[in-house]
Every structure is written in structure tokens, then in C-alpha cells.
Amino acid sequence: MLAMLWVAQRALASLKGAWKGADAAVEILNNKPFVGVARRPNDVAMALQRKCLEMQGRFMDEHGRAINYTALRESDIFAEFLSMTPELQTVDLAALSPAELMAFFLSSLPRMPREGE
């Protein structure tokens, strides 16, 4: 999940012109209060994963090696992703079994490579 949010943070940082590598200042994406009904952890992870896949399909170059962060950060789909991140506050990882915890994190893995990978 953290790596998935890294992509969004990278887009925000580039918007601010603050990206200087691993030590760059980034904005916490899920710091707004969540409004809504809490869903199961894996439902939250899968929704975020689907949104990342959608962003990947729209903003990755034809070689699958670079992301157009300028277009991404200005897109409606990125705004939708940002609006989804506060739901992570509702995820109770302590309530999950080891198998459920593994499934949560596996489904939360980033599907969009970082720039330069």
C-alpha cells in the first residue's frame, strides 16, 4: 500500500516542484477524515488497486517504462484516487488473520512502476 501511495505522492511532489529524490518532502494522502461506511480491508485494497491499474493504462508510455506524471496529476482519475485514500484509515489490520493480512498486502502492491524502473 505504501508503494502505491508513493506513486501518488510522487505526482503531488512534482506538481509542487519539490521532488529531489528519496529525501523529498511529500504530502500525506490520507490525512483527511474518511466519510462513509467502512468496507472490508480487501475491498479497500482492491478498489485502490483497480484505480492504480486504470492510471497505469492511461499514463504509462508505450514501452511500459515511464509514467507521464504531469498528465497524471492533472487528471480526474488521480483526483478520484486521492479521494479514495482516506478510507485506509478504516482498515483494521489487527483484526485480520495471517492469511487475510497477506492477501490485503498482496492486493495492495503497486501496479504502476516508479519513474526510471
* 45 has a pLDDT exceeding 60: yes
Q: How far apart are CA 85 and CA 5, in angstroms?
A: 8
Question: Exposure of 10 by Cβ count < 10 A (0-12 exposed, 13-18 middle, 19+ buried)?
Answer: buried
pTM above 0.75, yes or no: no
- Residue tagged 478520484 (cell numbers): 80
Model pLDDT for residues 75-104, shown as the tens digit of each residue = 999 999 888 888 888 888 888 888 888 888
Q: How far apart are CA 63 and CA 97, in angstroms?
A: 39
Nearest Cα to 40, choosing from 98, 84, 95? 95
**What is the domain partition of the chain in residue ranges?**
2-17+38-107
